[in-house]
Amino acid sequence: MIPGLGLYFHMRWLVDGFNVVLSDEKLSRRLRNDSKAGRTEFISEIVGSGQFRNEEVTVFFDGRFTASSDREAPGVTVRFTANGETADDAIKREIGRHTRRRSLLVVSDDRSIVSYARECGAKTMSTADFLAKVRNKVPARPLSAGSPSEKPESTGTADPELLRLFTGKKK
């Protein structure tokens, strides 16, 4: 809800399904033993978390690994790509055709998806942060280009040229 206005901000989550599942030891082990059970467990965690009320969550899976069609769970749409298409392609296409891209939050560790999403104005979140949110471990927040968590590590020494530029002092 937007404070003071009583309005709800509607977020649309686009989740790179296999990217998230394969980033987690428990889910990836389950997926290797039974692909349908692995996907189902992941979707059940999302639904059971209660973290996405009043938001749309779409999880994309590569269809070439399944014999499934799109389906819905309470609050979650599951999409399987067509033959010859990857989940990456489907996510990028969905971002590209969405008119309110600032309301999109893309979950993936795939650099090409993350870069494309940010170039289009969408927010991004890592798979680890998404799973932490789903599992109620920490309050996850979306990342956007230039956010503090993405800044490079300090080398411990000041760059004289940068100091000169920012302070206006000459050497």
Bridge partner list, 13: 57, 105
CATH architecture label of 12-167: 3-Layer(aba) Sandwich (3.40)
Q: Where are the domains of the chain?
A: 12-167
Taken in order 60, 64, 70, 74, is the CA torsion positive or negative? negative
How many separate helices (H) and strands (E) can be counted in the chain? Answer: 7, 6
- pLDDT, tens digit, 9 for 90 and up, residues 118-153: 999 999 999 999 999 999 875 445 555 444 344 344
39 neighbors 21 (Cβ within 8 angstroms): yes
Q: In angstroms, what is the C-alpha Rg of the chain?
A: 19
Quote the pLDDT of residue 166.
46
3-class secondary structure, 79: strand
Q: What percent of the chain has pLDDT over 90?
A: 47
Claim: this prediction has a pTM higher than 0.85: no
Round to whole Å and give the CA distance between 141 and 143: 6
The C-alpha torsion from 53 through 89 and 31 to 27, rounded to 10°, is: -40
Low-confidence ranges of the chain (pLDDT < 50): 1-7, 139-140, 145-155, 162, 165-166
Other CB atoms within a 10 A radius of the CB of residue 109 amount to 17
Helix or strand run (H / E) with residue 56? strand 56-61
